[in-house]
Amino acid sequence: MDYYSPKEWTLYLIRLGITWFSYSLRTASAAIAQQISTALKETDIFILISDDGETDTYIELGIAIAHQLNNSKPQIYIIGNRRSLMHCHLSIIPANSIDDILKTLEFQSNR
* Nearest CA among 86, 82, 62 for reference residue 74: 62
Other CB atoms within a 10 A radius of the CB of residue 37 amount to 13
Interatomic CA distance for residues 36 and 109, integer angstroms: 27
Tens of pLDDT, residues 19-74: 555 666 677 778 888 888 888 888 899 988 877 666 667 888 889 999 999 988 89
The pLDDT of residue 60 is 87
> Could you tell me if 93 and 77 are in contact, meaning their C-beta atoms sit under 8 angstroms apart?
yes
Do 37 and 60 belong together in one domain? no
At 46 the three-state DSSP class reads strand
Do 103 and 77 belong together in one domain? yes
The pLDDT of residue 3 is 53
Do 54 and 104 belong together in one domain? yes
Rounded to two decimals, what is the model's pTM? 0.70
Do 74 and 106 belong together in one domain? yes
Do 98 and 88 belong together in one domain? yes
Do 100 and 49 belong together in one domain? yes
The pLDDT of residue 1 is 43
The pLDDT of residue 17 is 64
Structural domain span for residue 24? 1-42
Domains of the chain: total: 2
